[in-house]
């Protein structure tokens, strides 16, 4: 039976990490996968996380199963981060949240819920988008279509094209929106543009699904939720898949959540029963550790404050690297205008480097970036910056 199985292609991002690990050149640099690195090139555990783990070590009495929906205090804390403490959506009990394994698990649960329980069978994703989106949605049984998003000539958003494509969607279609720090372009909508997207979703009865994996990496926790909150103020129904992999540095704990906002509490209760049925069929209930870490931090004023400070320092370091990257490329004699990189948000930058330039960076200089030209700016440090910029200058200039 297994002799008929064909070899799957390597994942475009995680496959690159495998190649990086196998590379023996000591000066190698991985700017592929979206992992935050500090100035020393490390991905340390946040200090607030270590403290929460110490508390859990002392206080945890049992490893009994969680309920299907996970840690309840966690789910409530997620809603506050998404909608704001005073949100009427929370007060009116229109939102239901289930803890899920990372942003990926949350997207998968959301998609399977839609396929099994609603007439929504088509999802529109931005072109380009995170490489795993199509894989997740198609595996769950959704048909994936693309709306235009990025204009290569200007390294900017093509908002008119985005609206034109969404105008072609049918009632009931799902629209995947990156809450902030769009992956891979780093280009986000302005608040005015979010309002226009909200209106088109309302007019055409489209269902927004927010992928919110980088809250706090753009401008701040509340600032980065402005798009989501603007859309939620207009449309009656939406879904959110959020992740704490990046903003709590909890990559391998697999901690995220799927949230449904329904028109009223009755719809929310019935929808939640189906979300739980989907979870039960997939992994029964989520792992506890990550959810408990996050809920412990968010429930404690001083740990919450410490988390905000640590998140701010990650965000500010990336912003500093963006500026330094643009200046260093210029200093290396690259005349091409890369100033757009300092205007982008989050971990990634769509550099505009071609596939062959990307291949040369890997083969000749041991610098790993994704084939699309996406650079993880969060992997740049003052130490590796000179070598990276010299190499990029060489592949551009010769
Ligand atoms: N959505 C986007 C846009 C992402 O970039 C990522 C992580 N690379 C995820 C979802 C998934 O996050 P997680 O690791 O929590 O599954």
Catalytic center residues: 130, 211, 246
Query: What span, in angstroms and rounded, lies between the C-alpha atoms of 257 and 73?
Result: 12
Per-residue pLDDT of the chain (398 residues; tens, 9 = 90+): 999 999 998 887 888 899 999 999 999 999 998 899 999 999 999 999 999 999 999 999 999 999 999 999 999 999 999 999 999 999 999 999 999 999 999 999 999 999 999 999 999 999 999 989 999 999 999 999 999 999 998 899 999 999 999 999 999 999 999 999 999 999 999 999 999 999 999 999 999 999 999 999 999 999 999 999 999 999 999 999 999 999 999 999 999 999 999 999 999 999 999 999 999 999 999 999 999 999 999 999 999 999 999 999 999 999 999 999 999 999 999 998 899 999 999 999 998 899 999 999 999 999 999 988 999 999 999 999 999 999 999 999 88
Among protein residues, the one with the nearest Cα to ligand 1's atom 6 is 213
Token pair of 289, please? 């550790």
Residue span of the structural domain in which 28 resides: 10-44+308-397
Token pair of 234, please? 């207009």
**CATH, residue 376:** 3.90.1150.10
For 144, phi then psi, to 5°, come to -100, 125
**Considering its fold, how many domains does the chain have in total?**
2
Report CA(13)–ligand 1 centroid distance (Å): 12
Report CA(243)–ligand 1 centroid distance (Å): 7
Evaluate whether residue 351 is within a structural domain: yes
> How far is C-alpha 153 from the chain's CA centre?
25
| Phi-psi category of residue 58: left, alpha or beta, with phi > 0 → left and psi -120 to 50 → alpha | alpha
The residue among 299, 318, 335 that closes a domain is: 299
The residue among 282, 299, 316 that closes a domain is: 299
Report CA(168)–ligand 1 centroid distance (Å): 28
Among protein residues, the one with the nearest Cα to ligand 1's atom 10 is 103
214 and 269, same domain (yes or no): yes
Residue 351 in contact with residue 331, Cβ under 8 Å?
Answer: no
Token pair of 186, please? 């780093």
295 and 315, same domain (yes or no): no
Strands 95-100 and 29-30: unpaired
Query: What span, in angstroms and rounded, lies between the C-alpha atoms of 374 and 343?
Result: 15
Evaluate whether residue 229 is within a structural domain: yes
The residue among 276, 299, 322 that closes a domain is: 299
Evaluate whether residue 59 is within a structural domain: no
The CA-based dihedral angle spanning residues 197, 203, 205, 208, taken in that order and rounded to the nearest 10 degrees: 10
Handedness of CA 334, 337, 343, 349 (dihedral sign): negative
| pTM reported for the whole predicted model | 0.96
Q: Does ipTM exceed 0.95?
A: yes
């Amino acid at each position: 039976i297994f002799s008929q199985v064909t070899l799957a292609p390597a994942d475009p991002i995680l496959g690159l990490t495998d190649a990086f690990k196998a590379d023996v050149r000591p000066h190698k640099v991985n700017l592929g996968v979206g992992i935050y690195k500090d100035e020393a090139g490390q991905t340390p555990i946040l200090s607030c996380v270590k403290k929460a783990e110490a508390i859990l070590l002392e206080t945890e009495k049992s490893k009994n199963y969680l309920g299907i929906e996970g840690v309840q205090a966690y789910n409530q804390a997620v809603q506050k981060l998404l909608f704001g403490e005073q949100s009427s959506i929370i007060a009116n009990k229109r939102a239901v949240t289930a803890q899920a394994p990372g942003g990926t698990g949350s997207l998968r649960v959301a998609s399977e819920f839609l396929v099994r329980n609603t007439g929504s069978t088509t999802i529109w994703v931005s072109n380009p988008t995170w490489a795993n989106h199509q894989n997740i949605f198609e595996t769950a049984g959704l048909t994936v279509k693309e709306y235009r998003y990025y204009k290569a000539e200007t390294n900017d958003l093509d908002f008119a094209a985005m609206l034109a494509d969404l105008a072609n969607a049918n009632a009931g279609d799902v629209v995947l929106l990156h809450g902030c720090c769009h992956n891979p372009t780093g280009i986000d909508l302005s608040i005015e543009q979010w309002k226009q997207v909200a209106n088109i979703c309302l007019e055409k009865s489209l269902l927004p699904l927010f992928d919110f994996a980088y809250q706090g990496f753009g401008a701040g926790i509340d600032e980065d939720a402005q798009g989501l909150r603007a859309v939620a103020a207009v449309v009656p129904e939406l879904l959110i898949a959020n992740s704490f992999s990046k903003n709590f540095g909890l990559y391998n704990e697999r901690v995220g959540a799927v949230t449904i906002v329904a028109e009223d509490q009755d719809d929310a209760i019935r929808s939640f029963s189906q979300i739980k049925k989907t979870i039960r069929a997939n992994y029964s209930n989520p792992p506890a550790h990550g959810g408990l870490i996050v809920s412990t931090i968010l429930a404690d004023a001083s740990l919450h404050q410490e988390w905000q400070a640590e998140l701010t320092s990650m965000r500010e370091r990336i912003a500093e690297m963006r500026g330094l990257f643009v200046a260093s490329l210029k200093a290396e004699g690259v005349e091409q205008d890369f100033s757009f990189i300092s205007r982008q948000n989050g971990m990634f930058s769509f550099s505009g480097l071609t596939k062959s330039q990307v291949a040369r960076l890997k083969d000749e200089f041991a610098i790993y970036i994704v084939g699309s030209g996406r650079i993880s700016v969060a992997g740049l440090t003052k130490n590796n910056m000179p070598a990276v910029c010299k190499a990029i200058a060489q592949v551009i200039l010769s």
